[in-house]
Amino acid sequence: MNKDVIYIEPEDDITDIITKIENAKEKIVAIVPPKKAGVFRSIVNIKLIAKAGFTADKTIVLVTTDPSIVKLAAATKIPVTKNLQSAPSIPSLVSDDEVETTSKEEIVEEKDGEVKAEEVEEEELEEAEEVEEISEESTEKSEEKNDAKDKKADKKKLKKEKLTEAKEKSKEAAKNAKKFSLAWFKAHKALTAGFGVGGILLIAFLVWAFAIAPAVTITVGIRTTTSNFSKNATFTTKLEEENADEGKFYLTEKKLETEANVEFDATGQKNVGAKATGNVVIYAYFSQQGAIAVNAGDQFTIGGLTYAANETTRLSWDGSNSSCENTDVIKDGKINCKISGRVNVTATEPGEKYNIAASSANWKTTALVSVYSDSAMSGGTDQMVTVVSQADVDAAKEKLGLASEAENKQKLLDSLEEGAFIIDSSFKQTTGDVVSTPAVGEEVKSDTKPKITVKITDTIFLIDKTKVEEFITKEVKLADNYKIYTMNDPFVENFVQSTDGYTGKIKTSYTSGPKVTENDIVELVKGKGIGDAQHDLASMDGISGSSIRIDKSYPWVMSVPGDANKITVIIDVKDGE
């Protein structure tokens, strides 16, 4: 049949055990007590375990060979087995070694027709019935033992006879107790009920007061000294290069990007009408065969009005006189051949003012030719619109109202996790270019409000605080029996960029002293009287005697509980004491 096995820890109290029984899934619950389990030395606790099993509809089996636990199990009729493989059975109330002692005990005394052995309560009546049943089982087991030991010495037989006689007396006493109890209960029903409730409340209070409530809080001061730490370190932005043991730490960059903008009114004006077009005559004189090019975009100017060539045009001479436009090719003994052509042009700006008549006057040009026009320029129109001017942008910058560097830095720090190791001197702020929408020179539509925007990027470096503290602890190199108790937040000084990363100096201060742990204190004082515990604590290396304080949960608590869970330790670091 399946069963749940519950292994009890030394620190478990009766409430922990009852909770485990209630949470068990199987009908059979095997409880394995530890070697030192004070909770199993109390008949009250054993009864509570039996009651918990009955309430939860579980069959409780104790797995133990401890005589004292077996004896209490017999009294509460809880089956016992020596291991998880053996069949459980309810143990006998009286063992072979307890014959003489048991035979001398009087279970119930009668005086003047009344029972005076113990206070008779309803629970004792139930126990008397259980004693009768257990005695009968004990008698059967004793008879079996007698059959198995027929060949032993007469002394052994005599001892068994005494055992049988003692059990018979016990059985008879139980029957008598039952008779007297029934008669007494019938005659004093109201009083019996009162005694029963009062007894239960008394037992519950005693369990709480002496098993559950006792607890102590121990405060001790540790004598320490304060020291400073300073060590050069290197930092890298490449994770694969990190070597914290050697003092090289990986930098994590954190960014905060913000944006500032402001709207403004555009005041610029721009003519977006049509541009005038036409053509001009270009010509050149050649002293030898060759070519001259007028490139697209070359400009021609007359009367302050400028036009640009639409395409590239070439003037060339092949050396023959027949291709020359003039008759006096050779003049004063020098070749002077004239070649001409036409270039289509467009005004560089829109406007009606570019519509001009033909002119034989020479135009100014960036090309290596001469220019004139023999036809008018036409098609230019005027259409004025509002545009963004550079003056508008410059005026808006003054209204931008950028947050100060300190404000942006605080925003970045507030966005980081609490307790992060920040390299404060690594903070850097970058301000981007001012961007106008629409851009300078672009038209502003009637439904558009122009604005300028600037992006700000704040950055700062973090490192792993745990790794830094481990590095500091390793570099401090304390003796084995000393430890660091407190360490102030480390910081990095002289953080600068180098050719292969960053360098700086890690600094902090720390307190150190003799190694005393909470567990050391608990193991030293648990189960001891308050005075003895104070004396033993004062003798520990590193503890300041004047700082020892043991606070009791209740006035009647005279000793430190044996259960470590009921001992709270507060270690107060006393610098320089």
pLDDT in tens, 53-80: 899 888 999 999 888 888 898 988 899 9
Residue 146 pLDDT > 60: no
Q: Clarify whether residues 259 and 402 are in a common domain.
A: yes
Whole-structure pTM over 0.85, yes or no? no
263 in a domain, yes or no? yes
Q: What is the pLDDT of residue 490?
A: 93
Q: Clarify whether residues 27 and 140 are in a common domain.
A: yes
User: What is the phi/psi pair of residue 129, to 5°?
Assistant: -65, -40
Residue 466 pLDDT > 50: yes
Residue 202 pLDDT > 80: no
* Domain's final residue, options 404, 430, 462: 462
**Residue 345 buriedness (CB in 10 A; 0-12 / 13-18 / 19+):** buried
- Residue 185 gets the label, from left (phi > 0), alpha (psi -120 to 50) or beta, of alpha
49 in a domain, yes or no? yes
Task: Please provide the DSSP assignment of 195-232 as one string.
Answer: HHHHHHHHHHHHHIIIIIS--EEEEEEEEEEEEEEEEE
Q: What is the pLDDT of residues 20-41, one digit of tens each?
A: 898 888 889 999 998 777 788 8
Extract the runs of DSSP E, i.e. beta strands, from 474-540.
482-487, 491-498, 501-514
Q: Is residue 181 very low, low, confident or very high in pLDDT (cuts 50, 70, 90)?
A: very low
Mean of pLDDT values over 347-363: 95
Tokens of residue 535, six digits: 């004396």
Q: What is the pLDDT of residue 67?
A: 87
Task: Please provide the DSSP assignment of 253-281 as one string.
Answer: EEEEEEEEEEE----EEEE-SPPPEEEEE
Mean of pLDDT values over 367-392: 94
Q: What is the pLDDT of residue 173?
A: 45
* Distance, CA of 294 to CA of 315 (rounded, Å): 8
Q: Are 460 and 408 in contact (CB under 8 A)?
A: no
pLDDT above 70 as % of the chain: 79
Q: What is the pLDDT of residue 531?
A: 87
Q: What is the pLDDT of residues 307-350, one digit of tens each?
A: 999 999 999 999 898 899 998 888 888 899 999 999 999 999 99
* Distance, CA of 142 to CA of 173 (rounded, Å): 19
Residue 214 pLDDT > 70: yes
Q: Clarify whether residues 421 and 299 are in a common domain.
A: no
Q: Clarify whether residues 100 and 131 are in a common domain.
A: yes
13 in a domain, yes or no? yes
Rounded to the nearest angstrom, the gap between the alpha carbon of residue 204 and the centroid of all alpha carbons in its chain is 43
* Distance, CA of 518 to CA of 341 (rounded, Å): 106
51 in a domain, yes or no? yes
Q: What is the pLDDT of residue 574?
A: 67
Q: Clarify whether residues 49 and 140 are in a common domain.
A: yes
Mean of pLDDT values over 258-268: 91
* Domain's final residue, options 382, 402, 425: 382
Q: What is the pLDDT of residues 148-177, one digit of tens each?
A: 445 445 555 654 565 566 456 545 644 554
User: What is the phi/psi pair of residue 112, to 5°?
Assistant: 55, 35
Q: Are 380 and 275 in contact (CB under 8 A)?
A: yes
Q: Clarify whether residues 360 and 407 are in a common domain.
A: no
Domain count, the chain: 3
- Residue 211 gets the label, from left (phi > 0), alpha (psi -120 to 50) or beta, of alpha
CA end-to-end distance (rounded Å), the chain: 63
Q: Residue 453: which domain range?
A: 254-267+388-462
Q: Clarify whether residues 73 and 198 are in a common domain.
A: yes
Residue 378 pLDDT > 70: yes
Q: Clarify whether residues 100 and 182 are in a common domain.
A: yes
CA-based radius of gyration for the chain: 54
Find the angle CA(304)-CA(305)-CA(309) to the nearest 5 degrees. 135
59 in a domain, yes or no? yes
Proportion of the chain in helix, strand, coil states, percent, rounded to 5: 35, 35, 30
Neighbours of 83 (CB within 10 A): 10
Element (H, E) at 72: helix 67-75
37 in a domain, yes or no? yes
Q: What is the pLDDT of residue 491?
A: 94
451 in a domain, yes or no? yes
Q: Clarify whether residues 351 and 416 are in a common domain.
A: no
Residue 554 pLDDT > 50: yes
Q: Clarify whether residues 52 and 121 are in a common domain.
A: yes
Q: Is residue 197 very low, low, confident or very high in pLDDT (cuts 50, 70, 90)?
A: low
Q: Clarify whether residues 51 and 200 are in a common domain.
A: yes
Q: What is the pLDDT of residue 160?
A: 56
Q: Clarify whether residues 349 and 435 are in a common domain.
A: no
Q: What is the pLDDT of residue 364?
A: 95
* Domain's final residue, options 172, 187, 208: 208
* Distance, CA of 206 to CA of 131 (rounded, Å): 25
* Distance, CA of 574 to CA of 475 (rounded, Å): 23
Q: What is the pLDDT of residues 91-139, one digit of tens each?
A: 876 544 443 333 333 333 333 333 333 333 344 334 434 433 433 443 4
Q: What is the pLDDT of residues 404-429, one digit of tens each?
A: 888 888 989 988 888 889 999 999 99
63 in a domain, yes or no? yes
Q: Are 17 and 60 in contact (CB under 8 A)?
A: no
Q: What is the pLDDT of residue 189?
A: 59
Mean of pLDDT values over 348-374: 94
